[in-house]
């Protein structure tokens, strides 16, 4: 067995153990516990938060809880930056793990319609990443690994992920911030709550716009053919 095979087996074992532990202790992964960890870290809190977010993404833990906590702890601006950065780091690690472990095998075994689908995804490149980040058709954590099995450029994947996760990240971060303000009885609670709902409405509406934009060229091609 060569060194590459040993490395792949070790990485796979770490991933399996990590996911198993995440599933076993999933009930303890709540807002209260996360806040306690961040506060105990002191000035290193933001870095610890991003590390937790990245690990959660790799090991299939829910990011929605972290996004809300990020908004509550760090506010809408810094919170959005930390949430997006942590999520993107985790998504990139998952992407690279998948590519390192199985992309060559998938390349050899893929054929027929599956190959056509894979070729189509790779042909769109960053545009496909944009679409799946704005239109959540697949679970976020699983999607990161799935995209690693394609030949999409790493730079396109990272940049497109960071940019096009921004609308959802901003909306849910602000929701966490507004929730904290409401609990604390801060000023302008109603206005902040309405703004949070407005941002969420925009995020819900974006997928419809994207789908229509993607369908328009197809319909135009059908008209030209007829």
Output the average pLDDT for the chain: 84
Does 144 have pLDDT greater than 70?
A: yes
What distance in Å separates the CA atoms of residue 175 and residue 69, rounded to the nearest whole number? 10
Does 120 have pLDDT greater than 80?
A: no
Does 222 have pLDDT greater than 50?
A: no
Segments in the chain forming alpha helices (H): 3-24, 31-40, 45-58, 63-74, 76-109, 112-124, 126-134, 140-148, 154-164, 166-184, 189-225
What pLDDT sits at residue 207?
73
The pTM score is: 0.84
Does 159 have pLDDT greater than 80?
A: yes
Number of alpha carbons in the 13 Å side-chain half-sphere of residue 126: 13
pLDDT bin (cut points 50, 70, 90) of residue 213 is: low
What pLDDT sits at residue 190?
75
pLDDT average, residue stretch 187-211: 79
């Amino acid at each position: 067995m060569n060194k590459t095979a040993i490395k792949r087996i070790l990485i796979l074992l770490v991933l399996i153990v990590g996911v198993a532990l995440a599933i076993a202790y999933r009930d303890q992964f709540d807002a209260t516990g996360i806040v306690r960890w961040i506060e105990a870290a002191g000035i290193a809190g933001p870095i610890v938060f991003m590390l937790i977010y990245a690990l959660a993404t790799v090991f299939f833990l829910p990011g929605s809880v972290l996004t809300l906590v990020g908004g509550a702890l760090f506010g809408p601006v810094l919170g959005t930056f930390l949430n997006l950065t942590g999520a993107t780091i985790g998504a990139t690690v998952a992407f690279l793990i998948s590519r390192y472990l199985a992309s060559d095998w998938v390349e050899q075994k893929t054929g027929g319609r599956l190959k056509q689908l894979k070729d189509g995804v790779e042909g769109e490149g960053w545009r496909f990443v944009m679409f799946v980040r704005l239109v959540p058709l697949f679970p976020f954590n699983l999607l990161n690994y799935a995209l690693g099995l394609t030949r999409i450029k790493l730079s396109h994947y990272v940049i497109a992920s960071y940019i096009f996760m921004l609308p959802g990240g901003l909306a849910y971060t602000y929701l966490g911030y507004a929730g904290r303000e409401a609990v604390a009885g801060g000023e302008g609670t109603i206005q902040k709550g309405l703004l949070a709902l407005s941002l969420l409405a925009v995020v819900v509406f974006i997928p419809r716009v994207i789908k229509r934009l993607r369908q328009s060229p197809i319909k135009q091609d059908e008209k030209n053919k007829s």
